[in-house]
Amino acid sequence: MRLTNLLFLTFMVFGAIGCAPSKSITTQEKQQDTIKEAAAADLQLYNDAKAALLTGNYPAAVASLNALAIRHPLNNYAHQALLETAADNIKRGQAATAVANAEKFISQNPNHPHVDYAYYHRGLVAFYDSVPALEAGDSATTTPQASAPVRRAFQYLSELLRNTPSSAFAADTTQRMLHIRNTLAQHEVNIAKHSLAQGEHARAAARAKYIVQNYQPSPAVADALAILTQVNALPPAKAPEPPVDVETVAARETAPAPATTPSSTKSWLMSQNPEHYTLQIFTTSNEKFIKKHITQHQLGDKAGYFRSGADSYALVYGAYPTKNAAQQAISQLPPYLTVGKPWIRAFKAIHTSLKQ
């Protein structure tokens, strides 16, 4: 709906002014001019906020969004701007960059009064970038790992509720998390049905049982119970399938990897002076991609990576004695290290993260 309701209100006020008796034409014209100027200012703030979000300038975006909230406390213009910008990020192929920019703002401003804008925008981008694809997936070709991006979106949204529970975006965030839960449950049902159709009865039962135990009260639970009933009614096979531990199968295929950092890269990170700085190159959920990136570009002992979340890794490069030195180094990086818009991080903060 964008900001059209602002303009509609403007025209309504025009009509009210026109119908009411006025002391003079001059006074009425001044009132109309004032309303036009206010509407134009609101529209400018709205567009400024969206432009700042798209370029990763969160301080400017937060300032514009907060100004809108103060001018119109009963309307959700800030919410609408974040929704539209998240959709634009996906259309432009900027999902990873948008998430990295949000995480940068959160990391540098954890106590900012409006840090929930960044939490919410990050969650929205991840939501739009993953949920529709999983919903449209083919159970015959999809894999349990296909749900990882959706689980990451769930994690991002849950962090908003955990860290900023009084946020104005809490209600919408809760609804999106419920939607993700139901989507994940249906995804599991689709895989279980496919396994059943392929004659993999034990695997289908394991998947169905996992759904019943972990996705209450999702509508998909009824389908899972139906699968369990169907498997239990099957006659014994002539050549029984090997016994399957249903808990182990379901957990192995759906749970994220353990939150650890390889000893080799951890040693490099911990050996750095905590008062020095490094450059965070990008974050990703694909650990193999980071390893390949380091090997392919021969980064050697100049780079390392670590767990930056429950399901993400951060690649860092270089060691610099001061922030100024790190800032100057950014302009000298080769193209394959600048895709994610590198930003400066203190080794002290990384050491703290690794010790947790």
Q: Is residue 215 part of a domain?
A: no
Phi, psi (rounded to 5 degrees) for 346: -85, 135
More confident residue, 32 or 210: 210
Any idea what the Cα angle at residue 96 is, between residues 93 and 102, rounded to 5°?
120
Enter the pTM of the model. Answer: 0.53
Q: Per the domain annotation, does 351 fall within a domain?
A: yes
Give the pLDDT score at 20: 47
Q: Tell me how far apart the alpha carbons of residues 110 and 249 are, in angstroms, rounded to a whole number.
A: 38
Give the pLDDT confidence score for residue 276 in this predicted structure: 92
CATH of the domain at 269: 3.30.70.1070
Q: Is the pLDDT of residue 14 over 60?
A: no
* Nearest CA among 55, 128, 46 for reference residue 98: 55
Q: Which sign does the torsion angle of CA 312, 317, 319, 324 carry?
A: negative
Confidence of residue 240 (pLDDT cuts 50, 70, 90): very low
pLDDT bin (cut points 50, 70, 90) of residue 28 is: low
pLDDT tens digits, residue range 147-191? 788 888 888 888 889 998 888 888 888 988 888 888 888 888 888
Is 234 part of a structural domain of the chain? no
188 in a structural domain: no
User: Would 145 be classed as within a structural domain?
Assistant: no
Q: Which pLDDT does position 137 carry in this prediction? A: 62
pLDDT at residue 11, as a whole number: 40
Look at residue 320 in the predicted model and tell me its pLDDT.
92
Tell me what percent of the residues of the chain surpass a pLDDT of 90: 2
Q: What is the pLDDT of residues 287-340, one digit of tens each?
A: 777 787 788 778 877 888 887 766 677 788 999 999 888 888 888 888 777 766
Give the model confidence (pLDDT) of 112-145 as tens digits: 887 888 888 888 888 887 777 776 666 555 666 6
Ranges 1-10, 31-40, 114-123: which has the least confidence:
1-10
Q: At what angle do helices 148-163 and 115-135 cross, to 10 degrees?
A: 150
**pLDDT for 212:** 85
- Encode pLDDT of 244-282 as tens digits: 444 444 444 444 444 445 555 788 888 889 899 999 887
Most confident of 11-20, 96-105, 238-247, 326-335: 326-335
Q: CB neighbours of 78 closer than 8 A, spacing ≥ 6? A: 49, 65, 66, 68, 69, 117, 168
Could you give the number of structural domains in the chain?
Answer: 1
pLDDT: is 106 or 14 the higher one?
106
Query: Is the residue at 343 inside a domain?
Result: yes
**Could you give the CA distance from residue 75 to residue 69 in angstroms, rounded to a whole number?**
8
On whether residue 302 sits in a domain, the answer given is yes
The mean predicted confidence, pLDDT, of the chain is 74
**pLDDT exceeds cutoff 70 at 73:** no
Q: Which residue has the higher pLDDT, 224 or 235?
A: 224
Domain that holds residue 322: 263-355
318 inside domain: yes
Tokens of 37: 């100027």
Q: Which helix (H) or strand (E) holds 50?
A: helix 25-54
Choice between 273 and 60, residue whose per-residue pLDDT is larger:
273
